[in-house]
Amino acid sequence: MCLAVPMRVDGVEGYMARCSAKGVERDVNLFLIQDEPLEVGDHVLVHVGYAIQKVSAEDAGSTWALFDELLATEGE
C-alpha cells in the first residue's frame, strides 16, 4: 500500500518546492505536476519526495484529521 501525505507549499524554485506539514519540512520534486500552477500556500500530496497532485486546503486538512484519528487509536 502506498501513502501520500498532504503538505503546504512554502516556496517554489523551478521543479522543486519547500513544503511543510506538522512541523516537518521537506524539499519536494514538482516534475510530475509540472503543468499545474503552484503558489506559496497551495497544498500538494507528496509521495516519496514527489508531489503527485495538487489538493485543496480543505482536503489536506481532512486528510490530516483522519491521520490524527488513526494515530490516536494506535495503542488501543
CB–CB of 22/53 below 8 Å? no
Burial class (CB in 10 A: 0-12, 13-18, 19+), 76: exposed
Q: 57, 24, 61, 17: which is closest to 40 by C-alpha?
A: 17
Please compute the mean of the pLDDT values over residues 4-25 and round it to a whole number: 97
| 74: confidence class by pLDDT, cuts 50, 70, 90 | confident
What is the reported pTM? 0.89
What pairs with residue 18 in β-bridges?
11, 27
Task: Tell me: pLDDT of 1 over 80.
Answer: no
Residues 29-44 pLDDT 10s: 999 999 999 999 999 9
